[in-house]
Structure 1
Amino acid sequence: MYKKFVRLDLSDREKRQVTLDFTRDLCVLEVVLIQDEHIVNLKNCRVRVEGVQSNNQPVFESCNLSPAKNGAILLTLTEHFVNFNVPLLCELLIEEGGGEERWVFFYVEVKSETRKSRSDIVPQPKPHVPAKTRLIAHRGLSSIAPENTIPAYELAGRYGYYGAECDIHETKDGEFVILHNSTLEGMTNGVGRISDYTLKELQQLTIISGHQIQRYPSLKLPTLEEYLDVCKSWGIVPVIEVKEIEESSISRLIRLIKQWGDAHQVIIISFSKKTLVQIRKLEEAMTLQWLAHLNEENIKVCAKYKMAISCRYKEVTQKLVHQAHQQGVLVATWTVDLNEKMQELMKMGVDFMTTNTLLYRQSLVGCKGGKDYLFHHQSEYINSLSSPLKEKGNEGWIYHEEGQLLEVFDEGEFGNVLEVKLAPLAVGDVVTVSFFYLGMEEDSIRAGLEYVEEGRVQEVEHSIKSTAHGNWHYMSGQFLAMNSVSGDQSYYRVIIGPKAAGKSHFMIRDLHIHLDYM
């Protein structure tokens, strides 16, 4: 089943356009409604969709509320589709319990590979890659909020992650709370083991450590129920790491999850094979991931017990991923914090990826505006050239008006070719960079985000190209701002240039930098 995810903001008066790929499998559009930066709770609501094609056939076959996610509506595309590549207006009607109605307007355009007729389109071989590698926020979005806290999980939802991972421990009175370690030192103002305290005693403690902790005073340890409620509100999949616990505790955990909602929508992970096997005996359909080395023997174990395998990213190879998929075993990997490595793993066909920082074509919820840098003129490109190259003139670069191309002849001594100083950013803002390039070597160009503090580069993150279009390559990457910067002494900049020192010759076109203020 092909599924497309989209978020529609009820406060946005602009009509949205959604593109679907028509395949022989069912096409499902999962719509999440947003208002005032929060997901709309559709409990006790009825929904229907209206929209027709030129032959009066409906655009969608069915319209239903998602049974697993608050605020989510599932729209199934009709099998009888005729208006390909033409935007069709659809209207989504939400009827609330009190009789109030809301209408949401959006356009749907369906693309069909079989309808393309241009002779210059050459089919590209497709590796075994899932339609969307699912990103898991490690302990929530722990790079901009304290790990394993409610704000970190809310941010994971706001930034459009597929799932959010947590670590659970049992209290003295048999409740489940969320913290990475089994002891309280470091993250809280308490001491000792979690298992020596009751839940009521633990709720008197305060979290005192973690990223941006100064923004979140008086944080408490979340309970498992509070974590599950946040996941349901934001439509993200709970990913629960379970330590080695007694079978009676496993039964209690499964009962709690079933009371919360559909157990199929929860992923349980553990280093303990014994614990996962016990869970499988009690709950046949629950999704499990074994944290283990990626090798042939462990893949066979996972196939036997119907589990996925989760490993360190350095262990992943194309061969092992292929072997796992042949046996029906999904592959997850952790913890990946570099765009370049993420895209390599995606090409290998990894199904799940846990990260602290990465965003990949995600839906950003609750944006507070944005800013665009569009490069369509000579002055825009030339003003961003590194100073020595700019002074060199036509001996170092040529701008081609036809095609709006910047051609660069870099001898290797000038460093980064383009350096775009960005407007002020705050922690959590998102920078998206995309452009086409034509180089003498396939992977000759890098692009990235640098944090500059008083003239010194503090952080560097680079991305690589994502797709090839004939001789041209398309590079696209998203970066998360980890520091607030607002002055001339400290700032962020996008850099684009050769990957390695030495002579290079390449062209750049259609450079677009977009800032999302979160």
Structure 2
Amino acid sequence: MVQQPFQQEKNIYGGCKMNTIYFKNKKTEMIAHRGLSALERENTNAAFVAAGNRSYFGIETDVYATKDGVFVLHHDAMTKEGQLVIEEQDYETLKQVVMCDVDGELRNDLVLPLLTDYIRICKKYNKKAILEIKPKMDDETVARLVDEIRQQDYLSGTIFISFHWDNLIRLRALLPNQPLQFLVQREEEYSIEQLVQHQIDLDIYHKSVTKKMVKEIHKNGLLINCWTCNHIKDAERMVACGVDFITTNVLEGK
């Protein structure tokens, strides 16, 4: 999902924030974007555990395959520390990269997580794994991804999302009943007919959401997620519109 670069996170939340921001919400499921990324470095085990210890329905992350086929979690195609292109490096090289915390300090425990780490954490804390397939993946890679989650017995706890429609079609061929969500920024980027045909839910930028859109999605038996909603007024509007999920860096419903 598109948002400000990592370095600007501190400006948004005023530095190393120690807790979530609560708002009144008991009906819309909340998803921690890249883990609890306002408190811990995004897409790290620390961020996943922080989300696991709170009331979130699910924990979102982004997956890539390394040059040697290992599934790792990171938002950008290139690491911030070391400037390594993930798909061009083997895992042995990438696992040596030590990352900075949200306060800008290097922490030896902050390394590129494996997909298996993330699934284990989601399973332990009984959270849905909201897994974004970041790049376009071929049939073989998608099949291996599915098999890795199946081996951990957590396909039932996983929702796949992607901006790449072909990734979702490949998943649907393998998993006829699996929850899938198509990521878009604007309404004109999706076709309700295609979503219905393949039974793929919608995951759209929150500023593009309207009550009419939500009503149409629900009328067709689909669900709607929105990203990335970090301010209470925006979240309250999403609840009023009737979305099923809100993806956020920092908000927590109560």
Superposition TM-score tier, normalisation by shorter sequence: 0.7 to 0.9
Give the AA of the match of 1:137.
A
Query: What's the CA shift string for 1:442-474, capped at 9, x where partnerless?
Result: xxxxxxxxxxxxxxxxxxxxxxxxxxxxxxxxx
Contact 2:33 2:249 in 1 (8 A): yes
Contact 1:138 1:164 in 2 (8 A): yes
Give the AA of the match of 1:324.
I
Query: What's the CA shift string for 1:319-368, capped at 9, x where partnerless?
Result: 1100110001111101101112111111111001110110101xxxxxxx
CA distance in 2, matches of 1:285, 1:264: 10
User: Which residue of 38, 43, 58 corresponds with 1:143?
Assistant: 38
Query: What's the CA shift string for 1:162-189, capped at 9, x where partnerless?
Result: 11111111111101001111112x2x2x
Q: Secondary structure at the match of 1:329?
A: coil
Q: Does 1:302 align with 2:195?
A: yes
Give the AA of the match of 1:300.
E
User: Which residue of 116, 124, 127 corresponds with 1:236?
Assistant: 127
**Cα distance 1:325–1:296, how it changes in 2: closer, same or farther (>3 A)?**
farther
CA distance in 1, matches of 2:90, 2:70: 8
CA distance in 1, matches of 2:157, 2:51: 17
- The aligned residue for residue 458 of structure 1 is none
Q: Does 1:165 align with 2:165?
A: no
TM-aligned CA deviation for residue 193 of structure 1: 1.0
Give the AA of the match of 1:347.
A
Give the AA of the match of 2:29.
R
CA distance in 2, matches of 1:270, 1:155: 24
Q: Within 5 Å, which residues of 2 pair with 1:253-292?
A: 253-292=145-184
Q: Secondary structure at the match of 2:240?
A: helix
TM-aligned CA deviation for residue 216 of structure 1: 4.0
Structure with larger RCO (C-alpha < 8 A, sep 6+): 2
User: Which residue of 212, 226, 230 corresponds with 2:103?
Assistant: 212
Q: Which runs of 5+ in 2 are unaligned?
A: 1-24
Q: CA RMSD in A?
A: 1.8
Under a length normalisation based on structure 2, what TM-score does the superposition of the two structures give?
0.85
**Cα distance 1:296–1:327, how it changes in 2: closer, same or farther (>3 A)?**
farther
CA distance in 1, matches of 2:35, 2:189: 31
TM-aligned CA deviation for residue 301 of structure 1: 1.5
CA distance in 2, matches of 1:238, 1:213: 27
Give the AA of the match of 2:210.
T
Contact 1:271 1:291 in 2 (8 A): yes
Larger radius of gyration between Structure 1 and Structure 2 = 1
CA distance in 2, matches of 1:237, 1:254: 15
User: Which residue of 228, 232, 235 corresponds with 1:335?
Assistant: 228
Contact 2:26 2:253 in 1 (8 A): no
Q: Secondary structure at the match of 1:359?
A: strand
Q: Within 5 Å, which residues of 2 pair with 1:111-510?
A: 132-184=27-79, 186=80, 188=81, 190-208=82-100, 210-214=101-105, 216-242=107-133, 243-292=135-184, 293-294=186-187, 298-361=191-254
Contact 1:294 1:309 in 2 (8 A): no
CA distance in 1, matches of 2:182, 2:97: 32
TM-aligned CA deviation for residue 197 of structure 1: 1.6
Contact 1:207 1:220 in 2 (8 A): yes
Percent identical residues:
32
CA distance in 2, matches of 1:325, 1:298: 14
Contact 1:167 1:178 in 2 (8 A): yes
Contact 2:46 2:110 in 1 (8 A): no
**Cα distance 1:310–1:282, how it changes in 2: closer, same or farther (>3 A)?**
same
Instruction: Return the structure number with greater helix share.
Output: 2
TM-aligned CA deviation for residue 213 of structure 1: 4.7
Query: What's the CA shift string for 1:231-257, capped at 9, x where partnerless?
Result: 111111111110211110000001011
**Cα distance 1:325–1:262, how it changes in 2: closer, same or farther (>3 A)?**
same
**Cα distance 1:236–1:273, how it changes in 2: closer, same or farther (>3 A)?**
same
Under a length normalisation based on structure 1, what TM-score does the superposition of the two structures give?
0.43
Contact 2:214 2:242 in 1 (8 A): yes
Contact 1:203 1:221 in 2 (8 A): yes
Instruction: Return the structure number with greater strand share.
Output: 1
Contact 2:98 2:107 in 1 (8 A): no
Query: What's the CA shift string for 1:58-114, capped at 9, x where partnerless?
Result: xxxxxxxxxxxxxxxxxxxxxxxxxxxxxxxxxxxxxxxxxxxxxxxxxxxxxxxxx
